[in-house]
Chains A and B, each alone.
Chain A
């Protein structure tokens, strides 16, 4: 057992639906009702037109590996994982989000840019966060 726990996010009212959805096994992102564009990270207004008329949509959970780094000096709670990748995933809906790539050893050979990935979920204390794994793998 790790001496320290990995960080757990502290939701705010405008991000709570995102974490509630994650706890149910769904990746939800926001979309603007005025200009129609989806975006990430959750926030109180649209970054494209500043409208506050927003809806939550369920994302497909599919994406590609946009970029990453492999960190050799672990953050607190990540001691068992190092070296581990900190990745940015391009969602098929367009927005990008940070994630770890789970279910595969995090080596440069294994982590090929633009490879298909799909969402999975991880408990962090009382909160659930989205993670990604190579597409077509069994859930871990």
Chain B
């Protein structure tokens, strides 16, 4: 095995993302899968490995598509799951357990058609030690560490509000983005308070959509139509299933560990990264990501973004599809991180950054619970 010997040869989203009340969750998986396999120049019968999250699950997706896999991965650790699927597929292909793996995402996050939104059992630690205090979904949990960060590092409300402003500048260049009109810091701070200190425009969208990836070995990719995207390094880990038990509220240990492992495996440094995707369920998550991945020092990310470094023309293009804050966010957004990294590396993005050779995607699962990182490139090292 050699670095970059496993590649992404197919990558596609559903025909549309947004509000799709006519699409069941299963149909979103299937539409993304058919598009990705076609993008790869392959037939469904070429697929011998399947990975997907728990609902409707890899077995239902594979059965619907007529795939008879000899490798199955149902890892479900929230929105970063698909980055972990890519990592696991690399190992499976190297081991000879599969030759061509399909990874699918579909989620009727907004319309809730055919979705299975399972509550945790009443006897789970979350239900015993957090639910009694009135948590209700990600806005009430993901938000909790932020005030501690703001106090420790002096991050201002205006700097935080600039995160969606910067990402909207990317979204303005992406016709598929749900929100494209420019916004200002004042617009953000004037928007409705959802969960203090986060306003509506600092929270991600809730949409319907899906996407899929086809992974195979580099030596099989030669005859296929798309330029291969080499998987140079990967990482995965988790920190805590309960937000209250995160070790230090000013830093994500999961982001730190998964990104460090991916960078080390890829043999890259931060200066090598041309393009970056960081899961942005809420405005503070890219701030944590930039610091925990080591792109800037502790407490510096708010100013780094506010100074324009991550927006169009900046030196570290970040969340160039517009992100979960402006492009789309089905609930498990990680698939869309990978899709945008692949588009940028192929030179096919709506808001194309010139000369991207290395793109890094940093995923989050749950509320700083799990993390996955991919270092991707359009060349071998």
Contacts and interface: CB of A to CB of B under 8 A. Distances in A.
The answer to whether A and B belong to the same complex is yes
A137 interface: no
Contacts of A86: 133-135, 140-141, 144
B125 interface: yes
A40 B247 CA distance: 12
B195 A72 contact: yes
Interface in B108-149: 122-123, 125, 127-136, 139-141, 143-148
B127 A67 contact: no
Interface string B178-220: 0000000000000011111110000000000000000000000
Nearest to A15: B128
Contacts of B148: 66-67, 113
Contact of A67 (B123, B147, B242): B147
B126 to A, nearest CB: 9
A92 B141 CA distance: 23
A71 interface: yes
A9 B194 contact: no
B125 A43 contact: yes
A55 interface: no
A88 B128 contact: no
Given A7-B127, A10-B128, A12-B123, A72 B196 contact: yes
Among B136, B145, B244, B245, max chain A CB count under 10 A is at B244
Interface residues of B, number: 35
B249 A75 contact: no
Contacts of B130: 98
A66 B249 contact: yes
Instruction: Say whether chain A's binding surface is mostly helix, strand, loop, or mixed.
Output: loop
Contacts of A12: 123, 128
Contacts of A72: 192-196
Given A69-B144, A96-B244, A75 B129 contact: no
B43 interface: no
Among A6, A68, A71, A78, max chain B CB count under 10 A is at A71
Among B147, B148, B243, max chain A CB count under 10 A is at B147
Contacts of B193: 70, 72, 83
Contacts of A71: 134-136, 139-140, 195-196
Given A69-B140, A88-B249, A108 B196 contact: yes
Contact of B134 (A8, A11, A75, A113): A75
A119 interface: no
Contact of B136 (A73, A83, A129): A73
B194 A41 contact: no
Interface residues of A, number: 39
B151 interface: yes
A9 B130 CA distance: 9
A83 B196 contact: yes
A67 B136 CA distance: 17
A78 B130 CA distance: 14
A126 to B, nearest CB: 13
Contact of B123 (A10, A43, A84): A10
Nearest to B142: A69
A67 B146 contact: yes
Contact of A41 (B140, B147, B242): B242
Contacts of A43: 125
A20 B151 CA distance: 36
Nearest to A84: B134
A127 to B, nearest CB: 8
A87 B145 CA distance: 9
B139 A73 contact: yes
Contacts of A68: 144, 147
A117 B37 CA distance: 57
Given A72-B192, A86-B133, 13 more contacts: A6-B134, A9-B129, A10-B123, A40-B129, A67-B148, A69-B147, A69-B196, A71-B136, A74-B134, A76-B136, A83-B193, A88-B243, A98-B242
Q: Which 8 A-B pairs have the closest CB atoms?
A: A70-B196, A75-B136, A67-B148, A9-B128, A69-B143, A10-B122, A98-B244, A78-B134
Interface of B: 122-123, 125, 127-136, 139-141, 143-148, 151, 192-198, 242-245, 249
10 contacts: A7-B131, A10-B128, A43-B125, A67-B146, A67-B147, A71-B136, A72-B193, A72-B194, A73-B140, A86-B140
